[in-house]
Amino acid sequence: MPNPKRRHSKSRTRQRRAHDALKVPQYQLDKETGESMQPHRIDPKTGMYKGRKILDVEDQV
């Protein structure tokens, strides 16, 4: 297995690890229902996306 010849500095190690942080998923409020949902997703209840009907959703009673 390859081993490093020289020790990496703390700043170099931290720069590499800067991208490892977990990101919180972004949510926005739906204009019609007021529910929070992720952007750029089809609404599973209505089947609408950007004001257009994309999916035919069956009414479950």
User: What per-residue confidence (pLDDT) applies to 15?
Assistant: 94
d(CA 55, CA 61) in angstroms, rounded, equals 18
User: What per-residue confidence (pLDDT) applies to 32?
Assistant: 76
pTM comes to 0.50
Q: pLDDT (tens digit, 9 = 90+) per residue, 1-46? A: 889 899 999 999 999 999 999 989 899 998 877 889 999 998 888 8
d(CA 54, CA 43) in angstroms, rounded, equals 9
